[in-house]
């Protein structure tokens, strides 16, 4: 009974200060855009800085900073679920969500949380956009791709990959190249380098740990492969990202370089 009275008082207070939640149509349009890989829509949303605006944002805490933290977590959860519905591997989507929530938890001001929100939703959108660019693939190749995502932090043998897809190694290799235009080992390497780029940008993990985490034979081999793919070393890649971050200037309602 006491809780009911408290809720009635709170609902009356919120009506008095005319705070209303954002229209569902607007919310779903945003999450649909992420799921569909619509980079233009999501970039516009980030530029308008909607996430930082209190108007229409539900009150989950009396602290503005804590309120933003809660809404960041909600956004991460919803974005990951929408992306799974759109075809992203479940473990990849939830892993990304956990990664960004953990990083957000270390931030101590609203501006940094807003910035990380933009990085997160654009990361999800870019990944979904990449999925949209993939041609129609057969079930064995789809199974193989899913297996690679799930075991990206391990050494992946072609025999195990073929077994997961229910075909022979030779047939999978031919099918993979035919449908994706790339051989299996190069595809695995590309995904590992993409993961390494995110870890270099959004974590403080030492380069040697990144190499071990992604199951490269050694740190020197990881550096060699990274340089071959990216034209720069992991250390310089991380430094260049930090330099770009420091050059950004926040204004009241948008981020401008």
What is the per-residue pLDDT across 160-170, written as a single tens digit (0 to 9) for each? 999 999 999 99
Give the span between the Cα atoms of 68 and 62, in whole angstroms. Answer: 11
What is the pLDDT, as a whole number, of residue 12? 46
Residue 104 and residue 113 in contact, taking contact as beta carbons nearer than 8 Å: yes
What number of other Cβ atoms are within 10 A of residue 28's Cβ? 13
What is the pLDDT, as a whole number, of residue 48? 86
pLDDT above 90 coverage of the chain, percent = 48
Task: Give per-residue pLDDT as tens, 206-254.
Answer: 999 999 999 999 999 999 999 999 999 999 999 987 766 555 433 333 4
Residue 233 and residue 226 in contact, taking contact as beta carbons nearer than 8 Å: yes
Instruction: Identify the residue with better confidence: 173 or 15.
Output: 173
Give the span between the Cα atoms of 22 and 74, in whole angstroms. Answer: 14
The tokens 């897809």 sit on which residue?
Answer: 165
Residue 62 pLDDT > 80: no
By three-state DSSP, how is residue 4 classified? helix
Residue 38 and residue 125 in contact, taking contact as beta carbons nearer than 8 Å: yes
Give the span between the Cα atoms of 51 and 124, in whole angstroms. Answer: 16
What is the pLDDT, as a whole number, of residue 229? 95
Instruction: Identify the residue with better confidence: 89 or 105.
Output: 105
Task: Give per-residue pLDDT as tens, 196-206.
Answer: 988 888 777 89
Tokens (6 digits) for 81: 């679920």
Query: What is the mean pLDDT of the segment spanning 99-126?
Result: 90
Instruction: Identify the residue with better confidence: 167 or 15.
Output: 167
Query: What is the mean pLDDT of the segment spanning 138-144?
Result: 89
Residue 114 pLDDT > 50: yes
Closest CA to 121 of 199, 45, 196, 54: 45
The tokens 């043998």 sit on which residue?
Answer: 157
Tokens (6 digits) for 157: 């043998």
What number of other Cβ atoms are within 10 A of residue 7's Cβ? 10
What is the pLDDT, as a whole number, of residue 47? 87
What is the pLDDT, as a whole number, of residue 70? 92
Give the span between the Cα atoms of 218 and 225, in whole angstroms. Answer: 11
Query: What is the mean pLDDT of the segment spanning 89-115?
Result: 89
């Amino acid at each position: 009974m006491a809780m009911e009275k408290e809720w009635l008082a709170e609902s009356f207070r919120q009506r008095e200060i005319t705070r209303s939640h954002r229209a569902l149509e607007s919310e779903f349009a945003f999450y649909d855009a992420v799921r569909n890989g619509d980079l233009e829509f999501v970039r516009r949303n980030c530029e308008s800085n909607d996430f930082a605006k209190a108007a229409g944002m539900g009150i989950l805490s009396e602290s503005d900073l804590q309120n933003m933290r809660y809404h960041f977590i909600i956004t991460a959860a919803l974005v990951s679920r929408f992306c799974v519905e759109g075809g992203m591997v479940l473990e990849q989507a939830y892993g990304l969500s956990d990664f960004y929530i953990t990083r957000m938890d270390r931030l101590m001001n609203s501006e940094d949380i807003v910035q990380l929100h933009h990085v997160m939703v654009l990361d999800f959108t870019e990944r979904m956009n990449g999925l949209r660019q993939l041609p129609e693939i057969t079930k064995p190749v789809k199974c193989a791709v899913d297996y690679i995502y799930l075991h990206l932090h391990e050494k992946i043998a072609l025999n195990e990959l073929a077994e997961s897809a229910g075909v022979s190694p030779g047939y999978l290799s031919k099918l993979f190249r035919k449908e994706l235009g790339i051989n299996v080992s190069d595809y695995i390497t590309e995904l590992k380098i993409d993961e390494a780029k995110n870890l270099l940008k959004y974590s403080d993990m030492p380069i040697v740990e990144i190499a071990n985490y992604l199951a490269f034979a050694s740190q020197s081999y990881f550096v060699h492969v990274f340089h071959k793919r990216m034209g720069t070393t992991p250390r310089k890649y991380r430094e260049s990202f930090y330099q770009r971050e420091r050059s950004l200037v926040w204004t009241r309602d948008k981020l401008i370089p």
